[in-house]
Amino acid sequence: MKAIVKLIMCIAMCFSLYACDAGIKFVGYEIATYPDKLFYVIGIDKELNFDGGTVYYITQDDNRKRDRLIAQPMGDFERAIKHEIDFNTEGVYVVEINSEPGYPAFFAIQVVSFGEIKRMAESGAEQ
């Protein structure tokens, strides 16, 4: 009889531990601070610079853990940073931070020519 009670108690404890773990599932990211660099120059910049950027790692119970914005493992999940940036073509590009499962976060960067920067600087000096 005591063995049956012990077995039932062990099974109940296992289910309760499993239920506690189910409440802390990862659900997504949120940008906490944008990277310091959001403008890139054709012919000068060749890769993304995430310095200064941070993201919130969000769990199902809405807890947030702030972490640096880099591609790295987060617990059981690999954080992926996806983009299709052509550093030789002017334009606005979207950067996606994601892992499976989970909701992604996005931010935009802009690639400009050196001539555009010079023109913007000159027009700003005239104002």
Looking at residue 66, what is its pLDDT? 87
pLDDT at 69 over 60: yes
pLDDT at 121 over 70: yes
Please, are residues 53 and 35 in contact by the beta-carbon 8 Å criterion?
yes
Other beta carbons less than 10 A from residue 102's beta carbon: 19
CATH (one of 3.90.580.10, 3.40.50.300, 2.60.40.3630, 3.90.950.10) for 24-126: 2.60.40.3630
Look over the chain and give the mean of its residue pLDDT values, rounded to a whole number.
79
Looking at residue 48, what is its pLDDT? 92
CA atoms of 82 and 88, how far apart (whole Å): 18
CA atoms of 29 and 55, how far apart (whole Å): 6
Q: What percent of the chain has pLDDT over 90?
A: 34
Q: What's the Rg (C-alpha) of the chain?
A: 23
CA atoms of 106 and 83, how far apart (whole Å): 10
Cα 121 off chain centre by: 32
More confident call, 125 vs 7: 125
Q: How confident is the model at residue 65 (pLDDT cuts 50, 70, 90)?
A: confident
Prediction pTM value: 0.69
pLDDT at 78 over 90: no
Tens digit of pLDDT for each residue in 7-54?
455 455 544 444 445 546 878 888 999 999 999 999 999 999 999 999
More confident call, 114 vs 99: 114
H or E element in which residue 117 lies: helix 114-126
